[in-house]
Structure 1
Amino acid sequence: MRNKPYSSIENIVIAADIGGSHITVAPIDISLSQTVSEETFRVRVNSKGTREEILDAWLNALETAFSSFDERPDKLALAMPGPFDYENGISFIRGLDKYESLYDINIKEELANTLNLSHKHVLFRNDAEAFLHGEVATGLVEMNNRVLGLTLGTGMGTAFSHVGKTTDLNLGSMTYETSIADDFFTTRWFVKRYEALSGNKVANVEALSELVEKDRAVEVLFEEYADGLSSFLADHIAGLKIDTLVFGGNISKASRLFLPQFSARLASLGATPTIKMAQQGEQSAMIGAAFLFKEIEGLYAHKIIA
């Protein structure tokens, strides 16, 4: 891993985005709000493996980033999926077919001890919250906007941001139709619904989007998705007085297939927020996680426009 010029080692945070099948790592300069590496470092992880297998994979990736500096950084921030005790660094993931062997493990302690870091310099942030904060911090929207962030992929992540403060909403766990929202607005819904409509199997939304010109069922599928998602979000947009939506995640890469109808349906329900697509990609969650250090050190100044 080769690094670009940075402001000072005190401003460097080694940040990681923990996904269902990988870890992505990059050094972030929190004074510049950007990564300082030539490229991010991504490693596949067997999330169904043992505690030792998972932690070893994470530690190897993290050490690659730490050791890329002549003077070793002393800060680590991770964007983590939940359920998770973010303050104390303890995983409560269970029944989600990933990272089950880490249940009730103090990951903060494991990482701090092995990487020789102070426990107070190992921070965790909800991944949806980190994603949105990273986009806001890098200027995608104005600080005074009331922003709802959506990460749509294998899971449904939601967060709210206003005047520099970003919090997880966890709307995916809310009741929707016969189950919860996460069951209807994620990749597994597309896979299951497409098979019901066409009798064919498909791996993911990317594969589906490639069939849109050949199979009418794909068009119907995205229309249903747009109608369902807009109906679910309308009340939340009104209740939180949202003026901007930010989309991220793999499903959002197919936004051309559902965004026009989604916007029209929202408007018919009285909601007309500005809609933006995330610009930082995978780096947004790492930047957002790293910014925890700015927040706790009181360095994150923002101007509130009345």
Structure 2
Amino acid sequence: MNVPVLEIGGSHLTAALVSLEGLRVVRSRRFHLEPDVSSAAFVATMLEGAAWIDVPAGSTWGVAVPGPFEYDTGVGRYAGVGKFESLNGFDVRQALVTGLAQTPGQVVFLNDADSFGLGEYAAGAAKGFTRAVCLTLGTGVGSAFVADGVSMSAGPGVPPDGEAHFIVWGGAELEETVSRRAIRRAYAEKTGENLDVHEIAALVRRGTSPAIELWNHTFRALGEALSPYVRDFGAEVLVLGGSVAGSFDLIEAPLRKGLARDVVLRAAVDTEHAPLIGAAVYAVTTA
């Protein structure tokens, strides 16, 4: 069975066809989106991507979208968040259903971080575990708390709505310490140099002291912030994806020190395709 999927990020839309038999992406294509895109331009890009997939009428679609979003109704709620403001109150589901020549059957929406976590759980680094915490580290901190193949939004060890960025560490939300902008800001304050995260990571590899100090502090802090949640959720594995997690080999040691508990740490197997697979799996199990 092949499932059509759309995955929407802050600067892109990916259209894909996912095989459930092999839990693999049959084909995919990436389209550019600006965060300040108009609703008309957004719909045009979405329909171009959806038409490219070319599936029969009546197909069940999975659509992964960042929040704030009403996932049950398909309506955007992007007010004052610096992205997709034109979609605030906009019915994305209706635009997709009415805009395609081959009318979709059910259209199922889910959070993009949840789609990543479900994809890694089904076919990636969390496969074979019962309970997993999956994080995407980049412009922010995305998260999925997955138990028995279900992304949890409440319960022991689960932050509000399952979103780790609500976790407070050092008197501020976690993104003020661990995100790309936070790491860049902290390094600039420490050294006066404006470097990106991959450049700071390169300095860590070369043994540069200020970079090592900041790096170890940042990811030990991540471990300390997550530790009670990992414990109370009963997580067996913690998976890291996203652009920052590309330096997982440098992150693992300070992160483990902060966690101070026995949990498997793994880098995501496929940060690009995991959200597509997760959206497909969610669509057919929810529809």
TM-score, with length taken from structure 1 = 0.84
Change (3 A) 1:180 1:51: same
Change (3 A) 1:130 1:174: same
CA contact (8 A) 1:219 1:257 kept: no
Structure 2 residue matching 1:61: 3-state secondary structure = helix
CA contact (8 A) 1:14 1:73 kept: no
Deviation string 1:51-73 (CA, Å, 9 cap, x unpaired) is: 1122222222222222xx6x567
Amino acid at match of 1:260: A
**Which residue pairs with 2:158 in the alignment?**
none
**Which residue pairs with 2:80 in the alignment?**
95
Aligned residue among 43, 53, 61 for 1:55: 43
**Which residue pairs with 1:205 in the alignment?**
197
CA contact (8 A) 1:143 1:162 kept: no
Shift of 1:80: 0.9
Deviation string 1:206-241 (CA, Å, 9 cap, x unpaired) is: 232233327432212211111210110011011111
Distance 1:283 1:140 in 2: 12
Change (3 A) 1:296 1:228: same
Change (3 A) 1:225 1:41: same
**Which residue pairs with 1:187 in the alignment?**
180
Distance 1:76 1:211 in 2: 44
CA contact (8 A) 1:145 1:243 kept: yes
CA contact (8 A) 1:147 1:162 kept: yes
Distance 2:210 2:79 in 1: 34
Structure 2 residue matching 1:233: 3-state secondary structure = helix
Q: Which moved more, 1:224-233 or 1:206-215?
A: 206-215
Aligned residue among 61, 82, 91 for 1:76: 61
Change (3 A) 1:215 1:144: closer
Matched, 1:107 2:95: no
Percent identity between the two aligned chains: 24
Amino acid at match of 1:205: V
Amino acid at match of 2:23: S
Aligned residue among 236, 244, 250 for 1:257: 250
**Which residue pairs with 1:274 in the alignment?**
264
Aligned residue among 167, 170, 177 for 2:170: 177
**Which residue pairs with 2:134 in the alignment?**
149
Aligned length: 278
Q: Which moved more, 1:208-217 or 1:54-63?
A: 208-217
Matched, 1:14 2:29: no
Shift of 1:188: 0.9
Distance 2:104 2:79 in 1: 25
Matched, 1:222 2:212: no
Q: Which moved more, 1:166-175 or 1:86-95?
A: 166-175
Structure 1 residue matching 2:187: 3-state secondary structure = helix
**Which residue pairs with 2:146 in the alignment?**
161
CA contact (8 A) 1:93 1:99 kept: yes
Matched, 1:288 2:281: no
Distance 1:36 1:72 in 2: 19
Shift of 1:116: 4.4
Distance 1:24 1:47 in 2: 15
**Which residue pairs with 1:42 in the alignment?**
30
**Which residue pairs with 1:135 in the alignment?**
120
Unaligned runs of 5+ in 1: 1-10, 298-306
TM-score, with length taken from structure 2 = 0.90
Amino acid at match of 1:22: H
Structure 2 residue matching 1:184: 3-state secondary structure = helix
Structure 1 residue matching 2:125: 3-state secondary structure = coil
Distance 1:233 1:175 in 2: 10
Distance 1:216 1:59 in 2: 50
Task: State the superposition RMSD in angstroms.
Answer: 2.0
CA contact (8 A) 1:205 1:254 kept: no
